[in-house]
Structure 1
Amino acid sequence: MTGTASPAGADAADPPGPGPGVDTDQWRRRLLTGPDVVPSATTLRFASLVLAVLASTGSLYGYMALLVHTEAETRAAACMKTVRLPGVAKGTSPMTDTTVVLRCTAPYLSSITLWSLTGTLLVVVAMMLAYAVTPWCILHAVHPGPGEGSRWSPVRLWRRAPRLSRRGLHLLRDNYPDQAAVAARVEQLAERIGLEARRRPRCHLNPYAKDTGARAFGYQRRTYLILHLGLLKLHRTDPAAFDGTVLHELAHLTNRDNRPTYLTYAAWRAYLVLVVVPFLAAFFAPGVFLHPADPGAYHLRARLPDTHSALSLVLLTGLVYLTRNAVLRVRETHADARAALTDAAAVLAFLRHGPWQRGGRLPEAVGHHPSAARRLRDVRNSAVLYRPGATAMFAAGMAIGLIAVNLGFSGWIAFLTSPRGQGTPLIEILMRLVNGTPATVILAQVMVLGPAAAVALLLIAGMACVTMWRARLGVAHGGKPPAPWRAGLALATGVLAALPLSVIYANAGTWGVFGDGAANTVIVVVLTSLTLAVIVIALFQWAAEAAAAWIPVSGSSLRRGIAASVILGTLGAAPVFFTWFAIHGNVSITWVQTGPPAAFIRHWPLAEATVAQVVALNYLSALPGCAILMALPVLYVAAGAARRSRTTAPAWARAALGPDARPIRRPSVRARLRVPLIAGLLAAGLAVAIAFGYVIVLRAVVGGPGLLAHRGDDLEYLMMTTEWICIACCGAAAFITALHSTTGGRLSPALLAALTAAGLTGLVMPAPVYVAVCGSRAWTCATNNPTTYGVLFGISGTTVAVQGTALGLCAVLLARTTGALLRRRPGPGAGGPAEAGDRKSAPTARTPARRRALATVLAVLVMGSLAASTIAFSHYVLLT
């Protein structure tokens, strides 16, 4: 092998895996630059771009459906201003916005849906066609180099205009010594960087470009490399800079980012041509779409764009543009990192030699190409490879928010056009959803809003899991992991910011929950935003803990672990997210049922507290199987923590690092599982003891006959007090567990403790009620009327599990704050429940067999209790 060698970057000098004296940067670059081990950052941002394009296209085309029919737009706008629910002023009803929009757009629902679907299909087809012809266009429409002069001077722009080459660019010719030498050197560099022979590029020369640039492109199996004419001279005068230039382009092929890159270019061009231009035409000349053959249709109508329309177009187009630039920026950073593995000195020479534009903070943050100074910093610091970008998360959140609301609107359309909804006044349908039986209300809302909520949550979970698995893999052998709350907060903010820009609000001419500045809507905005932020941040934190638990023990592929995390995270967060999606943006999210207790029990302890109920939590508790779904992701993390440590490197590490890769260190499992299990057991025992003691004392004070005097009031009181006792004990168990965990993995252990306490107490919670009411005849009362026991068991079991878990989540936040105040910090290198935070434990430490058996028995018992309470609740409460 010939050419410029670099002691710092040659493959032979790279250690195969992390170990004593090993450069952690080499480990990160090998595992995180390409898509072989985990999805690459380029793929992640490209997914955000696809979501942004689809969501923006659907929203703008849905609005165009009204713009092209001027009478429809006028009538709908007038209807929006006048229609309100009877007796409701200024849109304070939870159903007001939905009712107004659906009633006023009802005559145009099919047209709106058709336009949205047609526009989305056109953009997708155009994007794929543009991508298919991209290699031919690049080879035949030749772009010269940058030339001289100012950036926007006419001479420079003319010189940069593409030249059409009839035959296309020719290959490097062997009969020219300089071109033959360059071709041989490119082949050597392709072999050094690890590019397979079948994927090595065909080298073409661009004689029109006098600079020292290069460009790699093509499909996955047929790739091309265009070398500008100036590189021939650079190969003679500065071989290191030449090697760095070529290695950077070959790194794009090694990272396999050429497909998402040129799909990104195609998506942006298709969006401009098929979305932005038609939207402007529909706004100023709508007759073009209805009567294209009429010359009068092309006369622009004099009108000023309303604020909502203009802002929607600008923000949605800006979203697509910024997401496009994020894809293009991150691919350059990862290509530099991959090339530096082969020859770091050559890459540094290339970055110093290139004619880069100087940029400030704003161009670096939103531009399509990072500056030379930024690239030099990033190539020396591999932490940039795994840190989630807040801007990318915000853009992904906006796209997900648009898709969620648009799909929710489609769900309403499908419901209104179904046999159940046809011919029924809209107000009657909405009131029937609110005032029906619990089973019918839940079923109807799941049918209408379930698909939209499921798609949105699946996308959020996918972003969270891929991002946090990459982050945890980057710090598996040292380094401080990124805070999950930063990425989660950025994504949640994007979801909230996208809601007013969707089809439903654009057609209504309103900003939804953000539209009114009245004081009575401030609390709605705050609770809507805060609740979503907590849900998304908790999902990111859980994804980080799942990655930390499973990365050291995953054998064949990390992609399977990521897929399992996405599925379980979606299932676990589904009840909570669906509840938020069903009530967000309206006053029902603030509803708390209060009122004076019955006169008979008014003097009893905590009588006022037992009457107060949070409607959102009650709705969450009424969802069948909610507790079981919430327990699945927690048990998944516990299962990963309980697995035996690997004594050899996993297959995915050997494939990326070589056969001599070392296993990933992990702490002792014993310290992670013992605390939540013990805390849950103690909390369950304490809750049962307090509940029995409380009802015994109450029976002694009030007297047995007194508890039987008003069966409805006192029975509800007894159920509520015993439930609150259990819920408080669940929160205490979560708080103690989270406070004890100092390595950052607080969420899963704390929720495991809360669920353990809830599952065990749910089995015996009806017993204190029977003891209070029947005294020594409690067993006889229970056996004589098993239906009553089923009702009590179903209500208590589901309520304690769901609300105890919710309180446990609050306890985690409190424990984290308390731990920060007490200055409890993790040790060096500790960042999660499965990282090397316990330096005393050997890499082969594992949970003793007895403790694993006990954990298995407890898990089966808890899941069995939750399943039994779900069945009882569904049978005795929902379906009766």
Structure 2
Amino acid sequence: MEPAGPGGDRADTAAPGTGRASGGRAETGLRFALLMTVVTAASITMLDNALAPTPNDTPGDALGCLLAAGIDPDGKNLTNTLVGTSRPEALRECLSGAPEVAYWKGMVATAVLLAVAALVFWWLPRWRERWHRTLPIATVDRDGGLAAELAELREIAGIDPRVRFRVDPARTTAGAVVYGRAGLYTVCLHNGLLVRRGTDPEGFRAVVLHELAHLRNRDVDVAWSSTALWRVFVLLALLPFLFSTGRILVTGLSGRSTSPFWPGAASLLTYSLLSGLVLVALVHLTRADLLRRRELHADAQAVAWGALPAGWNQPEGPRARLRRVGHLLRTHPGWAERRAALGDPDRLSAVGAPQMFLTGVAGSLLVNALEVIPRPAELGGNAWLTAALVAPVLWLVLRRSVLRATREESGLRAGLWLGCGLMVGEWVSGGSSGNEWVTAEPAYLLALPLVGAVPAVWSAQSSRLEAAALRGRVPRALAGLLNGLVTLVLLWGGLRWWQASGRFQAMGMTTELDGVRTFVTQKYPGPWQDYAWELSTATAALPTLVELNKSTLLSVAAVLMVLLPLCLHARHPGSGLRVRRTLAAGAAGGLLCWAAFAVASYALHSGRPGTLEERTGAFQYVQLWWLLLTVTAACATTAACVAGASRQHWLLRALLASQVVQLLGYAGIFLAVSADGCLGPMDVYGSHCHWLPANGTIIVKLVVSDSVTTITLFSACGALVGAGVVRGVRRWYGKPGISRARTPRALTRRARTPVARTPVAAPGVVPATRSWPALVSGGLALAVSLTLLASTAVLHADGRPDTSSAPSAETRKFLELMDTPPTARAAKVREWQALAWLTKGGLTRIERISGAFLALGDALREAGDQKPGANGKIRLDSKKFSRLCSDVAKEARAAQAYFRVPDTDLQKKWSGALQRLDRSGRSCVSALADDTAAAGEKGGDVFLLSIDGMAAAVGELTLVLQELYARTAPS
């Protein structure tokens, strides 16, 4: 890309004034950094695939470990995920023995690619001068007037005197272009621009000042470095990757492929090709948007330096309509857009939907691309790096819009577009769909817009509150830093949750909750068949609760989401937060929460067991779950009502109100549990009146540990939903929605352009007569719903599964899948799975077992050669035979930790034989533990039976081995 001036046909973006331009430069610079990081991360996988010598058809490479683990390319994504991760230690051991670690190869190749891109960037300026045959200024400046004028403009712009000016005699357009690198910048004037200097000197100055603004804004470095990296990436990584992947796909479609991964890998290959093509479109659209915005920034900077806006009064040309159709694809704005940006100082401060959407797509692609590097991905480093690049972009865009724009920026639109970009990027990269086009539970993808919307709305509204409350530069800088850090942690928490929990739920891995169900039922024994609803909801929510509450940083950010706005309000009470009304709404929600406690306690009281001992275990956990559920529901409902009834700072007010409800809810729990036994029909445990504050403290601590972070985040999500519903209803009925308040221009340090700015006071919240009915109706709905749920929970319905005595059908299916992988449908896949299982360690395990058993047999034969004693029996060396039997059992247990046989029937035989071998080995050791057993007086029969059991088990393992060998060489 080549930045050009207002007289040319190229341009970059910024709002009028130096202050605006700086914010725009920072935002576009970060977006460029994000984009180039995505390109670099994508190079690792692409180069690794392009450099692969074969289509990875042999089980001798790392993919053979996946086949040995039981992966079926034709199988479902969820099944492959469960099977592939069921033996993590065995998989890690297998991959460590692979001949080459794939991602290192890609990383080395990417380092070479970056070095080549640096060389291209270094030589591009010289190559351009030779290609265009430019001339020094002195060749056309005979009287020295042109050089003097250019020196004057350079001093106005404060540009380094080493900047060179050259002329392109072949270009007849009245424009210019700037190129080069640090220390070697060149402004090349077109020949038509020199002609314009004589007829329109102000237009000439505007063009040159625009080009110098590019240098001042460091646009040249960004544009030419990204151009160099992109061209090298396309040539050395993207095209080879598309060729190699396309070759494999075409070979498979033609029926000439013998790979076991075909046709199951067709969707994966298609996803790879689609990701590459989307990356091309993403880079082009993002670069075009960024460069257009930087052109407008350069226009505004030139006007600030004294260029007359009349220099931009140029005709659109004969292809203006066609150019408008491809607006998003062009790297330079049209003249109408440039004039509109100069005339409207808030045009560039508004948040653009395309820029946030493209930022979200880039962030999602980056998270998935970095998963190719195992160690950082395991530690959440890919989520941190992505959040570190995306969050500052979001924060800077919203902050500039809030502090500079005329219309109020709520952040909701920007956050939703960012989240939609994350959702589209997740689908394109196939992170949660694998070899299937659509995830098993696509509804979970709708959580990604909330991941983007919550930090965006909070950041925008906090920035607006900060602008109204703070005046000094240092206090604003500190508050802005806290704002940015909280935004970063919130976005990271959402991405990390998606990686750790949300993605697997979208894949359909709801059966993993049966592990949680088993843990709960074992830790809290009792009649769980009476509390099936509570058990189902608790096990479904626990993974998310644990994931969100285990991060200390996320907990601190949740506290700052409420504490920072309160501190700003304390500094400036007239900021529009309406704390008194918000606290009153929170108090009303707290009262309704107490009422819900009473309803839930009454329902539990009517179905509680008869004795105090029976009220522990399952019943105790049910009460704890209802307390947690009630507080969370009350906080989220109150937040939704307050957000829907508020027009200004609605998320901040909703969070403050939910915190009041949360504190009152904890107080209610403490009182109810401490006075349990004195509450009559609302007693849950006690039957005698006692004041026991220790019990209340324990229960409150348990509830707080599971809700301190999640309640704030769930309340924020509830506020978004409530605000969206109310505003949707208002628009449906034609009522005014979000107030379009103007930001007082006192928020800006000083005006940079002569545009008139009229301060208008921000409106307050809606009257109490309109807000209180919404709160009351929402609270009553909450109370009614809790009553119905509590009544249903304590009913002893017939036919409910007894989860305490027998696993559910889903649990049995899950455990069976984890223990016996399904048999592959294709005979070729079964053949390669068997071969990979044997060569990757299965044959080694069987040989070790056979060696240990043969050593035991040799010792028995040696003992048989001895002369019997007086009683006619042989005396054995107990220590020696105990060690030999222990070796057999140890090898059996080691074989159990290896991959399961990738066949349902064979796995059952393999697992059963190993269990019997282990059991017989341990029985042999026990029989030899008694010295008299070694003399044959006692335990001789047990010893001989254990030997027979080991022999039979080894025989079964031999049969499994024979079947696997037969499968690897089909007739």
TM-score with structure 1 setting the length = 0.68
Q: Deviations over 1:721-768 (max 9, x none)?
A: 33333223212331332133202x322321232233224533552542
Q: Is residue 556 from structure 1 mapped to residue 473 from structure 2 by the alignment?
A: yes
How far does residue 574 in structure 1 lie from its aligned partner after superposition? 4.2
1:479 aligned to 403, 407, 413, which one? 407
From the superposition, tell whether residues 115 and 319 of structure 1 become closer, same or farther in structure 2 (CA, over 3 Å): farther
Question: Which residue of the other structure, out of 700, 704, 707, is the alignment partner of 1:799?
Answer: 707
Alpha-carbon shift at residue 638 of structure 1 (Å): 0.6
Q: 1:20 is matched with which residue?
A: none
Counterpart residue type for residue 267 of structure 1? L
The alignment status of 1:587 with 2:587, answered yes or no, reads: no
Match of 1:746 in 2: 650
Percent identical among aligned pairs is 21
Alpha-carbon deviation of 1:530? 0.2
After superposition, the C-alpha distances for 1:3-45 in whole angstroms (9 at most, x for unaligned) are xxxxxxxxxxxxxxxxxxxxxxx9951156422x564443243
Q: Does 1:545 align with 2:449?
A: no
Q: 1:365 — aligned with what?
A: 328
- CA, structure 1 residues 746+247, in 2 after alignment: closer, same or farther (shift >3 Å)? same
- Aligned counterpart, 2:76: 90
User: 2:145 aligned to 181, 205, 217, which one?
Assistant: 181
Q: What is residue 660 of structure 2 aligned with on the other side?
A: 756
2:394 matched to 1:464? yes
Q: Deviations over 1:519-562 (max 9, x none)?
A: xx55x1221x1011111122221221222122452633777655
* Residue matched to 1:116: 106
Report the counterpart of residue 276 of structure 2 in structure 1.
313
The CA distance in 2 between the partners of 1:237 and 1:830, in whole Å, is: 43
Per-residue deviation, residues 565-587 of structure 1 (Å, max 9, x unmatched): 33212323544432221131422
Displacement, 1:384?
A: 3.5
1:817 aligns to what?
725
Q: Is the 8 A contact 2:412 2:456 kept in 1?
A: yes
Match of 1:266 in 2: 228
Say yes or no: does 1:731 pair with 2:639. Answer: no
Task: Give the CA deviation at 1:344.
Answer: 6.2
Aligned to 1:384, what secondary structure does the other structure show?
coil
1:213 and 1:101, CA in 2 relative to 1: closer, same or farther beyond 3 A? farther
3-state SS of 1:209 partner: coil
Query: Is 1:128 aligned to residue 90 of structure 2?
Result: no
- Structure 1 residue 252: deviation in Å? 1.5
Corresponding letter in the other structure for 1:539: P
Structure 1 position 281, deviation (Å): 6.8
How far is the alpha carbon of 1:617 from its aligned partner? Answer: 3.4
Where in structure 2 are the equivalents of 1:43-442 lying within 5 Å?
Answer: 43-66=29-52, 71=57, 84=70, 90-93=76-79, 95-96=81-82, 99=85, 106=95, 110-138=100-128, 140-143=129-132, 163=133, 169-172=135-138, 176-177=142-143, 180-191=144-155, 194-196=156-158, 198=160, 201-219=163-181, 223-279=185-241, 307-342=270-305, 345-349=308-312, 351-352=314-315, 359-411=322-374, 414=375
Q: Which amino acid aligns with 1:774?
A: G
2:541 equivalent in structure 1: 617
- 1:409 and 1:673, CA in 2 relative to 1: closer, same or farther beyond 3 A? farther
Q: Match for 1:813: what amino acid?
A: V
User: What CA distance in whole angstroms lies between the structure 2 residues aligned with 1:793 and 1:764?
Assistant: 13
User: Matched residues in 2 for 1:402 and 1:384: separation?
Assistant: 29
| Other-structure match for 2:874 | none
CA 1:310 to 1:90, structure 2 compared with 1: closer, same or farther past 3 Å? closer
Structure 2: how far apart are the matches of 1:97 and 1:341? 64
Aligned to 2:741: 829
Q: Is the 8 A contact 2:742 2:762 kept in 1?
A: no
What residue identity is the alignment partner of 1:120?
Answer: T
Q: Distance in 2 between matches of 1:474 and 1:767?
A: 50
1:423-469 residue CA offsets vs partner (Å, 9 max, x unmatched): xxxxxxxxxxxxxxxxxxxxxxxx82522232233333223212211
2:446 counterpart of 1:530: yes
2: CA distance between counterparts of 1:747 and 1:119?
A: 47
**3-state SS of paired residue (2:189):** strand
The root-mean-square deviation of aligned C-alpha atoms, in Å, is 4.5
Q: Which amino acid aligns with 2:411?
A: P
How far off is 1:119 after superposition?
3.1
Tell me, yes or no, if the aligned pair for 1:241 and 1:346 is still in contact at 8 Å: no
SS at the partner of 1:241? helix
Instruction: Give the AA of the match of 2:639.
Output: A
Following superposition, the deviation at residue 236 of structure 1 comes to: 0.7
CA contact (8 A) 1:216 1:225 kept: yes
Alpha-carbon spacing, 1:705–1:284, altered in 2? closer, same or farther (3 Å)? closer
Distance 1:348 1:170 in 2: 26
In the alignment, the residues of structure 2 paired with residue 319 and residue 338 of structure 1 have an alpha-carbon distance, to the nearest angstrom, of 28
Change (3 A) 1:200 1:683: farther
Distance 1:119 1:587, change over 3 A: same
Cα distance in 2 between the residues matched to 1:101 and 1:141:
61
Describe the SS at the equivalent of 1:531: helix
Q: 1:570 aligns with which of 481, 488, 513?
A: 488
CA contact (8 A) 1:28 1:382 kept: yes
Q: How much has 1:395 moved relative to structure 2?
A: 3.2
Which residue of the partner structure matches residue 913 of structure 2? none
Q: 1:727 to 1:486 in 2, by over 3 A?
A: closer
Question: Separation in 2 of the partners of 1:101 and 1:205?
Answer: 68
Cα deviation, 1:318-362, whole Å, max 9, x if unaligned, reads: 333333333322222222232234456455446449998764344
| Alpha-carbon distance in structure 2 between the residues aligned to 1:497 and 1:357 | 32
Are residues 365 and 742 of structure 1, via their aligned partners in 2, closer, same or farther at CA, if it must alter by over 3 Å?
same
> Which residue of 659, 668, 682 maps to 2:574?
668
- Cα deviations by residue, 1:373-412 (Å, 9 ceiling, x for unpaired): 443443333443123333333333333223212333423x
Instruction: Find the aligned partners of 2:704 and 2:477 in 1 and give their Cα distance.
Output: 39
Deviates more, 1:811-820 or 1:734-743: 811-820
User: Which residue of 2 is the match for residue 635 of structure 1?
Assistant: 562
Residues 824 and 195 of structure 1, relative CA distance in 2, 3 Å threshold: same
> Equivalent residue for 1:648?
none
Letter of the 1:720 counterpart: W
**What is the distance in 1 between the residues matched to 2:108 and 2:392?**
27
Q: Distance in 1 between matches of 2:527 and 2:660?
A: 36
Structure 1 residues 590 and 262, CA gap change in structure 2 (3 angstroms): farther
Provide the residue aligned with 1:3 in structure 2.
none
Aligned: 1:719 with 2:624: yes
- Contact 1:579/1:616 (8 A) holds in 2: no
2 CA distance for matches of 1:600 and 1:285? 60
Distance 1:372 1:542 in 2: 36
Query: Per-residue deviation at 1:81?
Result: 8.4
Q: Which residue of 2 aligns with 1:14?
A: none
Q: Counterparts of 2:578 and 2:402 in 1: how far apart (Å)?
A: 18
Q: Of 21, 27, 30, which aligns to 2:17?
A: 30
Query: In the alignment, is the contact (CA less than 8 A) between 1:67 and 1:283 conserved in 2?
Result: no
Give, in whole Å, the separation in 2 of the partners of 1:372 and 1:109: 59
Instruction: Please tell me whether the aligned partners of residues 399 and 460 of structure 2 are also in contact (alpha carbons under 8 angstroms).
Output: yes
